[in-house]
Amino acid sequence: MNDLELLQAWRAGDAIAGRELVRHHQACVRRMFVNKVGDAVDDLVQRTFLACLAHVDRMTDATRFRAYLLRTARNELYLHFRERHGPRGRVDAMTTSVHELAPSPSRERSELRRRDLLLFALQTLPLDLQLALELHYWEALRGPELAIVLGIPEGTVRSRLRLAKDRLRTTLARLGDAEPIVGGDFDDWADGLRRRRSAVS
């Protein structure tokens, strides 16, 4: 069964199919929320799957299931922010906080800091640019899929990614990031990855 068939079976009451689907996709949905929402991750993952289940009829193309799923996750993410930050909502503690600055043993410091910097630099990007980069590199999403998740025309995916990389590069440089990032090779790398994936599938 493909993913869409699993979802349909789950909708029809087949919990085994549902479990398989969730096991298969849980990690990437989780990653989508982890460095953005603090302690609401569990809840958002649940909400994402439940929303997918509710809207199974809107999905037509089984090969695009993951894109639909991640798009739903993005919608839930924005919904969450609106709930938290709405005029009547409460202010959320999702931004950098002082505990991240707690001193750490010096031998780990530089490595930790490098990782920390990339995550922080990502968080300074507008949310959709952050999502674009993370989905591109972590989930290896291709152009058409990214277009679905981000809700933009396919033709603008490349320029969106380029913009995101430029902003990330600038930010990392401003943060005093030590490792020089050679310009120009990301797209080749990403292209290679894409081709490899399509050759496999």
47-76 residues in contact with another protein (CB under 8 A) are 49-50
Which residues ranging from 21 to 50 are in contact with another protein (CB under 8 A)? 22, 26-27, 30-31, 34-35, 41-43, 45-46, 49-50
**Least distance to another protein from the beta carbon of 156, Å?**
10
Contact 70, 134 (CB under 8 A): no
From 1-9, 57-65, 67-75, 89-97, give the range in contact with another protein by CB under 8 A: 89-97
Phi, psi angle pair for 176, to nearest 5° = 75, 30
Alpha-carbon distance of 25 to 3, in angstroms, equals 10
At its nearest, how many Å lie between another protein and the CB of residue 107?
Answer: 13
- Which residues, including other chains, have CB under 8 Å from residue 153's CB and lie 6 or more apart? 147
Residue of the chain from 57, 58, 91, 155 that contacts another protein (CB under 8 A): 91
Q: Which residue's CB is nearer to another protein, number 60 or number 199?
A: 199
CB of 190 to another protein, least distance (A): 8
Instruction: Choose which of 12, 55, 63, 109 interacts with another protein (CB under 8 A).
Output: 109
Nearest CA to 49 out of 85, 76, 84 is that of 76
Rg of the chain, C-alpha, whole Å:
19
List % helix, strand, coil for the chain (3-state, nearest 5): 75, 0, 25
Q: How far is the CB of 129 from another protein (least distance, A)?
A: 8
- Minimum CB separation from another protein for residue 5, in Å? 18
Using the contact rule CB under 8 A, the part of the chain among 1-9, 58-66, 68-76, 128-136 near another protein is 128-136
Is 173 in contact with 119 (CB distance < 8 Å)? no
Q: Phi, psi at residue 59, to the nearest 5°?
A: -90, 130
Can you list the positions of beta strands (E) in the chain? Answer: none
Which residues contact residue 112 at a Cβ distance below 8 angstroms, ignoring those fewer than 6 apart?
A: 104
Q: How far apart are CB 24 and another protein at their closest, in Å?
A: 13
Between CA 2 and CA 13 the distance in angstroms is: 17
Stretch that binds another protein, among 55-63, 67-75, 98-106, 141-149 (CB under 8 A): 98-106
Stretch of 1-9, 54-62, 64-72, 188-196 contacting another protein, by CB under 8 A = 188-196
Could you say whether residue 192 binds another protein (CB under 8 A)?
yes
